[in-house]
């Protein structure tokens, strides 16, 4: 039912090591891709993941540390070269707009597409920063992104991507049997309105349409200390991607550098009643991130450490047809 | 005798394609590495090439198009994380200094090493931009870098790296036979000074020292139309790396975009009496760069198209000992 998945493109903290790359994560839905963070080399990781840049509708940047945004100028430059036409939504801390304007030689002054820059100002604490209208009258493909200020060494934001609920399926055979034969009536029923059948009877949506399916949800928290804003973003989410730069042995270091331990990430997932937790943003001190997943598992069972370029589905993927 | 070689780290023009990466090339000598250009992802390419960033003494940036410099902020940031201590020489068009100062989150304000920024001002045409003093009194390891303004769509510079001549080898046995036994006298003879033997005779350097070996030389020309400045930089050079973005079929496009065809690069090498030509900066239109080398070969025989991460020696490498 819900084919959305995430692909961690880079799971490294600060210094690339052990085959890990700088922070970036693609959220892939049928009709669009949302990119969270864009560390140096992200455009190459997208190629390796087989995700065309033309599919990216939104890029959300968590904070202005180099390992989270230095791939953005190059990605925009490549989009210019590729003659992208569709508008691009860019959600980021406000100062990034000026940075992009000052960088020479990235060609964005002659770009053939619009950048809808949603600047997050420094006084922002939490709220919706983007709403994507549904593609059709029955609500397919709509989603919202909310942001919330986290607890890091610089201003940093976490994000929640909430897909709209999907309308249920219409049982056409049953509708015809009840005397509803017009396409407009089918559409009305699917969008929750009642219609009149040929014999004058009023047909209500539940008579012929299965219940709506709740939209899937995803939260991205990197970089941050564990905090209430993270828990709020991740509330009952299908999948939470949370940074886990360190293990318990480095708890003091996590505190000093504004990062989380794996166990702390697990505690956020537990408090938020998240369905699934994927850890990322690993320090080079942890060549094997499984030890971090183990530490988180002590407080939250459904946890994995992110493997780059693998798919993590928000819900069970469709069985192969 | 001369183990210097170059390693093309990225040979792509503008858009990465077919496994090619953004412009960057490492010149590797025994005691140091000089990096020419630093496109996005260069720090990953250095890891793949097995070149430690701590060995880089100089970075020279040809021009401020994104594909030639966007990897620099991340590389500097990584050098900060790695607690580099040795000074770094940065040769680049002057505006880059301000760009680096304005970029947030790259940590260079708390770097533990000095950046010796050699800003090339817009009125500069040609001349020496850096001189590395030799490591020892007999002149090993010294080199100079000269720059010259090229002919591109924006201000762009080519570079020549000229290693100092190496002193010849002292025949100690012969020197002892002539009555020269002091270490200081050997050093004086190697540095070209005559000395007095125990019997009072004057011993001249050619009596006991083989002729000096001319220092190797390398020229880097990217991006540019063929021009006199490129020929001058490449004069009798051991190896010229010249951009060859297009083939003859795209000659008009080369002219319009300030680039060279492979044949034009060959003509520069021929006019300069270069010993060897390596082509790079290939347009995505040429998935097989061998066709470009073939076009250049019509006017200059000793030409190859660059393969990323391979070594190209400036002179014959030492035979395995």
The arithmetic mean of pLDDT across residues B300-308, rounded, is 98
Question: Which position among A67, A164, A223, A238 bears the catalytic label?
Answer: A67
Q: Name which of A58-67, A92-101, A133-142, B309-318 the model is least confident about.
A: A133-142
- The predicted complex's ipTM stands at 0.90
Q: Is residue B321 part of a domain?
A: no
Q: Are B16 and B70 in contact (CB under 8 A)?
A: no
pLDDT band, very low/low/confident/very high, at B141 (cuts 50, 70, 90): confident
Is a pLDDT exceeding 60 seen at residue A31? yes
Residue among B15, B41, B65 minimizing CB distance to A41: B41
Boundary of a domain, candidates A193, A208, A223: A208
A319 is a domain residue: no
Q: Is A240 in the same domain as A275?
A: yes
A166 pLDDT band (50/70/90 cuts)? confident
Domain that holds residue A24: 5-166+214-313
Instruction: Tell me if B177 is assigned to some domain.
Output: yes
A88/A39 same-domain check: yes
Among residues A265, B33, B115, the alpha carbon closest in space to that of B9 is found at B33
Contact check, Cβ <8 Å, B70/A154: no
B104 and B197 belong to one structural domain: no
- Range A102-122 average pLDDT: 94
pLDDT of residue A149: 98
DSSP letter (8 states) at residue A316: P
Residue of B108, B110, B115 whose CA lies nearest to B87:
B115
Q: Whole-number mean pLDDT of chain A?
A: 94
User: Per the domain annotation, does A282 fall within a domain?
Assistant: yes
Residue B18 pLDDT class (50, 70, 90 cuts): confident
**The two structure tokens encoding residue A198:** 């040929």
Residues B103 and B141 in one domain: yes
My answer on whether B162 and B176 are in the same domain is no
User: What residues in A contact B53, CB-CB < 8 Å?
Assistant: none
Of all residues in chain B, the percent with pLDDT exceeding 70 is 97
Q: What number of CA atoms fall less than 13 Å from residue A168's CA on the CB side? A: 14
Verify whether the Cβ–Cβ distance B103 to A74 is below 8 Å: no
B318 within domain boundaries: no
The nearest alpha carbon in chain A to B64 belongs to: A105
Residues B293 and B158 in one domain: yes
Q: DSSP for A302-313, please give it.
A: SEEE--TT--EE
Q: Do B21 and A14 touch (CB under 8 A)?
A: no
- Chain A residues whose CB is inside 8 A of the B63 CB are 105
Same domain, residue pair A151 and A193: no
The closest alpha carbon to A39, from A84, A74, A5, belongs to A74
Are A98 and A188 in the same domain?
no
User: Does a structural domain hold residue B124?
Assistant: yes
Cβ-defined contact of B69 to A95 (cutoff 8 Å): no
- The verdict on B24 and B155 lying in the same domain is yes
Is A321 among the domain residues? no
Residues B198 and B307 in one domain: no
Check B67 against A73: CB less than 8 A apart.
no
Last residue of a domain, one of A208, A233, A263: A208
Task: Check pLDDT > 90 for residue A320.
Answer: no
| Confidence at A292, pLDDT banded by 50, 70, 90 | very high
Residue B140 located in a structural domain: yes
pLDDT at position B138 is 61
What's the angle, vertex CA A283, arms to CA A278 and CA A287, rounded to 5?
A: 85
Question: Which string of DSSP letters, residue by residue, matches B117-157?
Answer: EEEE-TT--EEEEEEEPPSSTT-TT-EEEEEEE--SSS-BE
- Report which of residues A228 and B1 the model is more confident about: A228
Contacts of B302 (CB under 8 A, 6+ apart): B269, B275, B276, B277
To the nearest 10°, report the CA torsion of B9, B98, A68, A267. Answer: 140
pLDDT tens digit string along B24-61? Answer: 999 999 989 999 999 999 999 999 999 999 999 999 99
Instruction: Name chain B contacts of A63, Cβ cutoff 8 Å.
Output: 105
Cα(A78)–Cα(A81) distance, integer angstroms: 5
DSSP A86-124: S-EEEEEETHHHHHHHH-TTS-GGG-SS-EEEEEE-TT-
Q: Compare CB distances from A106 to B63, B66, B106 and report the shortest one's residue.
A: B66
| Dist CA A115 CA B35 (whole Å) | 34
Please count the structural domains in chain B.
2
Q: Are A242 and A279 in contact (CB under 8 A)?
A: yes
Report chain A residues whose CB lies below 8 A from the CB of B22: 74
Average pLDDT over every residue of B263-287: 97
Q: What is the CA radius of gyration of chain A?
A: 22
Q: How far apart are CA A305 and CA B276, in angstroms?
A: 50
Q: Please check whether residue B78 is in contact with residue B41, taking contact to mean a CB–CB distance below 8 angstroms.
A: no
pLDDT at A191: 84
User: Above 80 in pLDDT, residue A90?
Assistant: yes
* pLDDT tens digits, one per residue of B147-189: 999 999 999 999 999 999 888 889 999 999 999 999 999 999 9
Q: Does A248 lie in the same domain as A151?
A: yes
Q: What is the pLDDT of residues A249-265, one digit of tens each?
A: 999 999 999 999 999 99
Q: What is the spatial distance between Cα B191 and Cα B222, in angstroms, rounded to a whole number?
A: 37
On whether the CB atoms of residues A189 and A197 are closer than 8 A, the answer is: no
Report whether A46 contacts A53 (CB < 8 A): yes
CATH number for the domain that contains residue A292: 3.60.15.10
Same domain for A49 and A184, yes or no, is no
């Amino acid at each position: 039912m819900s084919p959305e998945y995430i692909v961690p493109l880079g799971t490294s903290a600060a210094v690339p090591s052990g085959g890990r790359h700088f922070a970036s994560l693609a959220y892939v839905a049928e009709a669009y891709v949302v990119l969270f963070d864009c560390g140096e080399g992200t455009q190459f990781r997208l190629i390796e993941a087989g995700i065309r840049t033309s599919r990216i509708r939104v890029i959300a940047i968590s904070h202005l540390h180099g390992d989270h945004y230095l791939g953005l100028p190059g990605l925009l430059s490549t989009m210019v070269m590729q003659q992208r036409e569709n508008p691009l939504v860019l959600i980021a801390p406000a100062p990034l707009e000026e940075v992009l304007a000052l960088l020479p030689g990235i060609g964005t002054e002659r770009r053939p597409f619009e950048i809808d820059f949603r600047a997050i100002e420094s006084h922002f604490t939490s709220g919706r920063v983007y709403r994507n209208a549904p593609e059709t009258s029955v609500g397919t493909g709509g989603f919202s992104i909310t942001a919330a200020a986290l607890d890091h060494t610089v201003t940093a934001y976490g994000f929640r991507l909430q897909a709209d609920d999907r309308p249920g399926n219409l049982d056409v055979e049953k509708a015809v049997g009840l005397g509803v034969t017009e396409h407009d009536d089918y559409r009305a029923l699917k969008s929750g309105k009642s219609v009149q059948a040929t014999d004058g009877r009023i047909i209500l949506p539940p008579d012929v349409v299965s219940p709506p399916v709740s939209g899937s949800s995803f939260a991205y928290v990197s970089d941050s200390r564990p905090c209430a804003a993270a828990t709020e973003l991740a509330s009952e989410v299908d999948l939470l991607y949370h940074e886990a730069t360190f293990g318990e042995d480095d708890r003091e270091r996590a505190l000093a550098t504004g990062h989380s331990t794996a166990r702390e990430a697990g505690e956020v997932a537990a408090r938020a009643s998240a369905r699934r937790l994927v850890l990322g943003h690993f320090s080079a001190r942890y060549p094997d991130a499984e030890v971090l997943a183990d530490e988180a598992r002590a407080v939250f069972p459904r946890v994995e450490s992110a493997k780059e370029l693998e798919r993590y589905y928000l819900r069970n993927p469709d069985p192969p047809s």
